[in-house]
Structure 1
Amino acid sequence: MPKASIILLVFGFAVIGLSMALFVELAEDVIEKETFAIDEIIHNVMVNIGNSLFYTVMGYVTEAGSVLFISVASVLLFIYLLLFGNKSKWVAIFFAVNMIGISGLTKVLKLYFERERPELLEQFDGTGFSFPSGHATGSIAFYGFVIYLIIINRLKKGLKILFITLFSLIILAVALSRVVLSVHYFTDIVAGLALGLSWLIICIVAMKLMR
């Protein structure tokens, strides 16, 4: 195995370990019904911007991580990878595993932890349980895989940096929007990003080992 691949695998496992450790730490406190000071502080700040332009903009941004948008985008990307991708079909298969898996994991964990949301707002998909954030897990799984595709593509370095930055900002913006709209606690978002990142890397590492 090439040295670069070994380094990538070691780095991947390290990120998985750190992300899962963070998720488990938060999950344990949620199970014990612990409250987080940072959740209360951020929530109180966000309540005061309920009628601002920033709040309105975040209402549109959050749709980039909605179940409908991510589902439709995932189907389209899967079809493209399957029919027109110049890489192995394993890329399409593991992309599907990535998205279906994170969706299932998120639903099961929400039902397990049963954490109530700070506010219930159906217009922003703010229904059901809160922990972990489905928008956060879905966004980092989907856009993160897109970033991986960009990295392995033969685009010029400048374009790669541009697109990677863009999709990274989308992930962060969607995550931020859930807190701004007060449909999630900050720790829901952190846990969602940690879980989504772990699952994404697991799928990518598994795909590389399979290929």
Structure 2
Amino acid sequence: MQNGFARSFALAIASLLVFAVIASLVGWHRIAWFDDRIIEAVQGRESPMLTSVMKFFSFIGSTLPVVVLTVAAMIVLYVFLKHRGELLFFAGVVIGSALLNVALKMLFRRDRPTIHRLAEETGFSFPSGHSMAAFSLYGVLVFLLWKHADKALTRGLLIVLGLGITLMIGISRIYLGVHYPSDVIGGYAASLTWLALCIAFYRRRDRR
């Protein structure tokens, strides 16, 4: 369990460093070369069917579905499973990530892309709120389900499913033209930092 705390804490530090690098490049306006290449590659595959798919993934990463899934998970944890410690952990990860996103957006105040938008969005761009919410929500769900899964295959499928949904939500925001790739990656890094920290201290508390 102590090793679990150490690994989670080390992961938090590593992802924080990744976020710091991306945030610095965004702040210094030195990341356009990266964003432009990724945007060109993603939006270059535009088609009516793909646009529909991307709008779906963007929707499931938006506020309403995230809130509904969060409330449903909290009800299951509290009412049916009686896992009150896991409920507090779950709520802390999801709510903390949302508050962190608001704070970071206000700090960086990056404008959204304005070229070739397939959807409309308001507010600041960095880091991506959809990416942070998806990574935190699906990340903490995978972690809690993984804890109670006995088979390696089940655990592997949970990780693949969680990563797949989170990745598609981030890509959808780039495809729809409402976020830069650096917004999405920065959101993942910020959310991973928070999630890994929460897991580290949850494991330490669980050990005690």
2:4 maps to 8
State yes or no: 1:151 paired with 2:154.
no
Q: State TM-score, norm by structure 1.
A: 0.89
Secondary structure of the residue aligned to 2:36 is: helix
Unpaired runs of 5+ residues, structure 2, are none
State yes or no: 1:133 paired with 2:128.
yes
1:168-207 correspondence to structure 2 within 5 Å: 168-207=163-202
1:77-156 correspondence to structure 2 within 5 Å: 77-85=73-81, 87=83, 89-119=84-114, 124=119, 126-156=121-151
Deviation at 1:8, TM superposition (A): 1.2
CA distance in 1, matches of 2:65, 2:118: 14
State yes or no: 1:35 paired with 2:12.
no
| Equivalent residue pairs, number | 206
Deviation at 1:106, TM superposition (A): 0.2
Unpaired runs of 5+ residues, structure 1, are none
1:9-24 correspondence to structure 2 within 5 Å: 9-24=5-20
State yes or no: 1:60 paired with 2:56.
yes
State which drifts further: 14-23 or 39-48.
39-48
Q: Deviations over 1:66-94 (max 9, x none)?
A: 1111111111111211122254x111011
Whichever residue aligns with residue 40 of structure 1, its letter is D
CA distance in 2, matches of 1:50, 1:118: 17
Q: Which has the higher contact order (CA 8 A, sep 6+)?
A: 2
Q: State TM-score, norm by structure 2.
A: 0.90
Identity %: 30
Q: CA RMSD in A?
A: 2.1
State which drifts further: 160-169 or 93-102.
160-169
Specify whether residues 139 and 11 from structure 1 end up closer, same or farther in structure 2 by C-alpha distance, changes over 3 A only.
Answer: same
State which drifts further: 116-125 or 27-36.
116-125
Whichever residue aligns with residue 197 of structure 1, its letter is L
Secondary structure of the residue aligned to 1:167 is: helix
